[in-house]
Structure 1
Amino acid sequence: MAQSAFSLTRPNSGQFWMYSLLGALYSVGMGYLVSRMGPLGAGVAILLPIGLVIMIVLMMEPRFGLFLYLHLSFIVGLTRFFPVEFPVGLLIDGVLALTLVSTLVNGSRMEWRGMRSPAFALVTIWFVYTLIELLNPEAPYRPAWFFHVRPFSMHWFFAACIVLVTPITRNDIRIMVNSWLGWSFLAALWAFKQQYIGLTTNETIWLNSGNNAVTHLLFGQLRSFSFYSDAAQFGGEMAGVTVVAVIRVFEEKKLLHKLFFLALALVYFWGYAVSGTRSALFVMLAGFPFYLLLKRDFLKLAIGVVMAVPLVLLLLYTSVGSSNYQVQRMRSALTPMNDPSFILRLQNQQKLKGYLSHYPFGAGIGTSTDMGARFSPWHWAAQTPPDSWYVELWIETGQVGLTLYILMILGLVGLGVWRVWQLKDPWLIKIMYAFLAEFVGMAVMAYSNPVLGQFPTDTIIFISTMLIVTCYRWDIRPVNQPSDVTLQKLPTLQL
């Protein structure tokens, strides 16, 4: 009887001795590492084999890289609890790069025709522009370009390349959506713990560092931030998933499913409330009406307006609920001209307008916000806080760059609407409605906060926009309605 090529029971097996030698060398090496580095070395010893397995699986299956990218985007905020600083952001860069390499390695089973999508052209034009910005003569410190080009365009371009050609299945989309909602649910629960029980030691340390206490403790009231980068990012994401859950309430057919998503919507909405993020209200004010426009259900849109107007008037012209901090924050979002911080933002924008009138291509990517303060604090671009994603783009890429970016956003929304309106499958329609409405809501909120450039919101946007514009790939038509391909194969009547 033939023997297998490799058997651990055969002492003379060459492979047995090879693996034994590798195992012994690994044990000695890791023992030395632990003796030199202590607990950190032990962590490396544990994580290194796991990392090798993940890398092998990722190179074999690009879809795994997308899932890993999604989950790591939520884990970024958890580094606040790590005993040592861990560069998860750079790890995400590596995962995206390896996933892109994996698509090339597995090129024979990739759907390369996906590159013909107009959405890919839009993202590519924006990406190329940001590459050219590396040559911007106004940039005071060129290496800072790398840090901001990642959320500006590089991650979006990589994600577009991967999503458009990888043979993603309907089940993959279901897993992505459930993962997003699941992480968001955990984030809301942790925010409730912060609000009603208290902060951990590491969270208190973070709150007392920099200006975090100034922005997260207002009038003695904590703005919960959960395990996200800050309260604004957390509030925006909670508002986004509230829109998604409410859409599912409307779209689901079974009562049990409706009740489940209604419960989720209430949890997410209160997560938004305890964040104290006023601008996140506009995610819902923009996202849900856009969903009704997508459905072309003008009756429900009219009913929604009739129901919303009294609530808005109640917040604007009465003091009902003012004793509740969360309600008062919502009320102040509707009266921005009474808010000193909003007036200061307008004044900063006027100041920037004077500077940027001479710089149509901006001051260079990486010159504002955190990277500007770190690498070129003397430069005018680093001395005025943008307080807005679009203002940040305006500072760093100029009027030309901001125009290209907004045109890309509008193009993706328009292309997404066109594609979604052609869908026939009810399950896919409700998923794409939710993706598109959340994207529009986040794009509106980005006027006040840099949410489109922060984890995990940017990851959700980068993946979901490419799924929306190619949603026809997963459309399943009713049995009694032939597809376009079937119609093309029908014999023609010879006259």
Structure 2
Amino acid sequence: MLLKKSATVPKKKDAGSSHLRPLIGAALISCAVAWLMGHLDYKLSWAFAAVFVGLPFVFFAFTFPRFGLLTALGLSYFIFFIKRIVYNYELPVGLVVEVLLITSAVGVLVRSFLHDEMKPGWYKNKITVMVVLWIAYLLLQAVNPNMTSMSGWQLAFRGIISFIATYYISFYAFNSLQFVRSFTWLWVGLAAFAAAYGIYQEVAGLPPWDLKWVTSSPTLFALNFIQGKFRKFSILGNVSAQGIFMAYAAIFCLVMMMGPFKTKIRIYMAISAVLMLLAMAFSGTRTAYAQVPAGIALYVLMTINNRRTLMLAMGAMAVFIFILFGPIYTPQIIRIRSAFFPSEDSSMQVRDKNRSRIQPYIWTHPIGGGIGTSGEHGREHAPNHELAGFPPDSGYLEVAVEMGWLGLLLNLSVKFVILFTGVHFFYRCKDPEVKILYAAYICSFFSITVAHFAQVATGQLPNGMIYNCTYVILIKLIEFDRSDQSSSYFSS
């Protein structure tokens, strides 16, 4: 009986072999993918890799929208670096960011229908009302009678969709102070890495992939090689994006350094700010040099009664005066000084003449000449348009010529409402951490609005994505204030 019973007992499976099977399967699949990429056509191999690598990310972005937002943010830093390091400057890496954002937005939409996870009335605030009006105006530009081609507007439409997706995801994602912290630490940490890489380029020289890119065309070389050395663009798209983003991040870190944090966090913020300011100087972007005093000045005005603020103001003023009038004449210092004495700079004089020349066109075209009709985009997408080739050299001027003075007025109104909302809630909240987050995001945001006067500063990644998320952060932060949970002042 015992023998019979024991014969029916199933054999115990080998635990080691059961754990090895997934590893063996993964190894075989990896070998198969590598072999196929080595034997397929170049473009087809990249498509094959995108399917096997991209689909899991798309799935997780749909299932976990916060993951999608953070992944898109992280990838936005490395879009241009990936292109340079693989020596393929037409690689559509930016499309991956757009797909992640749209997929995450669809995921939020599905979750809101199935599980009702979006808070009711999320759209009932003044910033969202202004954003909707701005988006509606951009969409109406599709029927602008002054356009000679729809090509430029169609290209801009992709950016509009990405902005809508980012805005919608943000309302779902920023539902706790912890996620605001996670988002903030991620982008600040990656900004510090971008600063460190820019300093590495300055100290060790441009790596082969960066050197090949910057010398790939006469235009790029002329823009980046000034006074016998290359300007440093780090992992970002160009020197302008690097300089503006480093100034934005440095202001943020300087303000956060004044917050109610542990000493080690303040030290980290201080070191990061120094690295970012150095990287900004090495980029040679004069617009960025004006951003820093603008952001610090706003913080001083907002917290003038704080003893730490007075110390920061005095220290910043001493450094500023030394940079402008000190006995140092390095190329970076000379370029910084030229930003504050524009009358002595020939390029600024040319820009002023262009602005004066285009003013009659702006006044006679209240809705502008159409999106994508000015500058180099105009040459490419609307070569027969009278604005084609005209260099705006300013985000506000670009809005004025392409969307008219009505569009410029609406654009400025959006920025005013955002800043007013942030400042209002800054004075209402009591929690020290929420208060310093408000100050840091407001001052950085304000610095970008200043930079937009001299550059097209808000659409460049990753700065543009952080800038767009700031809209929602300024709305949501007040909900996490321990002393005031309601924010009815801006409710519709």
Under a length normalisation based on structure 1, what TM-score does the superposition of the two structures give? 0.85
1:268 alignment partner, one of 271, 276, 293? 276
Q: Is the aligned partner of 1:470 residue 2:476?
A: yes
5 Å matches for 1:270-419? 270-297=278-305, 312=320, 314=322, 318=325, 320-321=327-328, 323-419=329-425
**Cα offset for 1:274?**
0.8
Contact 1:123/1:157 (CA < 8 Å) preserved in 2? no
Q: Is the aligned partner of 1:70 residue 2:73?
A: yes
Cα distance in 1 between the residues matched to 2:359 and 2:455? 19
SS at match of 2:388: helix
Q: Is the aligned partner of 1:49 residue 2:52?
A: yes
Q: Which residue of 1 aligns with 2:428?
A: 422
Contact 2:152/2:377 (CA < 8 Å) preserved in 1? yes
Cα distance in 2 between the residues matched to 1:206 and 1:382? 27
Q: Is the aligned partner of 1:156 residue 2:163?
A: yes
Cα distance in 1 between the residues matched to 2:391 and 2:226? 20
Q: How far does the alpha carbon of each residue in 1:130-177 deviate from its partner, in whole angstroms, 9 at most, with x for none?
A: 0000101111211221223444x4433332222124463322222211
**Cα offset for 1:399?**
0.7
**Cα offset for 1:368?**
1.9
Cα distance in 2 between the residues matched to 1:236 and 1:355? 29
Cα distance in 1 between the residues matched to 2:403 and 2:198? 35
**Cα offset for 1:457?**
0.9
Cα distance in 2 between the residues matched to 1:221 and 1:409? 37
SS at match of 1:195: helix
Q: How far does the alpha carbon of each residue in 1:94-150 deviate from its partner, in whole angstroms, 9 at most, with x for none?
A: 222222211110012122321112111111100000000010111121122122344
The 1:57/1:310 distance shift into structure 2, 3 A limit, reads: closer
**Cα offset for 1:311?**
5.2
Q: Which residue of 2 aligns with 1:137?
A: 145
Q: How far does the alpha carbon of each residue in 1:454-487 deviate from its partner, in whole angstroms, 9 at most, with x for none?
A: 111110100122111221232234xxxx8679xx
Contact 1:96/1:158 (CA < 8 Å) preserved in 2? yes
Q: Which residue of 2 aligns with 1:179?
A: 186
Q: Which residue of 2 aligns with 1:89?
A: 94
**Cα offset for 1:412?**
0.6
The 1:270/1:26 distance shift into structure 2, 3 A limit, reads: closer
Contact 2:422/2:475 (CA < 8 Å) preserved in 1? yes
Q: Which residue of 1 aligns with 2:437?
A: 431
Cα distance in 2 between the residues matched to 1:26 and 1:464? 40
SS at match of 1:101: helix
1:101 alignment partner, one of 106, 115, 118? 106
After superposing the two structures, state which structure 1 stretch, 223-232 or 373-382, moved more: 373-382
1:192 alignment partner, one of 184, 196, 199? 199
Structure 1: stretches of 5+ with no match in the other structure: 1-8, 10-23, 486-495
5 Å matches for 1:228-239? 228-239=236-247
Q: Which residue of 1 aligns with 2:8?
A: none
The 1:261/1:355 distance shift into structure 2, 3 A limit, reads: same
**Please, what is the CA RMSD of the aligned residues?**
2.8
Cα distance in 2 between the residues matched to 1:251 and 1:324? 34
**1:222 aligned partner, one-letter code:** F
Q: Which residue of 1 aligns with 2:84?
A: 80
**Cα offset for 1:184?**
1.1
- How many residue pairs get aligned? The number is 456
Q: Which residue of 1 aligns with 2:467?
A: 461
**Cα offset for 1:242?**
1.0
The 1:483/1:129 distance shift into structure 2, 3 A limit, reads: closer
Contact 2:292/2:447 (CA < 8 Å) preserved in 1? yes
Cα distance in 2 between the residues matched to 1:221 and 1:177? 34
Contact 1:59/1:105 (CA < 8 Å) preserved in 2? no
The 1:248/1:353 distance shift into structure 2, 3 A limit, reads: same
**1:181 aligned partner, one-letter code:** V
After superposing the two structures, state which structure 1 stretch, 335-344 or 25-34, moved more: 25-34
Q: How far does the alpha carbon of each residue in 1:59-102 deviate from its partner, in whole angstroms, 9 at most, with x for none?
A: 21221221122112212221222243321232222222222211
Q: Which residue of 2 aligns with 1:488?
A: none
Q: Is the aligned partner of 1:116 residue 2:124?
A: yes
**Cα offset for 1:261?**
1.6
Contact 2:248/2:291 (CA < 8 Å) preserved in 1? yes
Q: Is the aligned partner of 1:204 residue 2:211?
A: yes
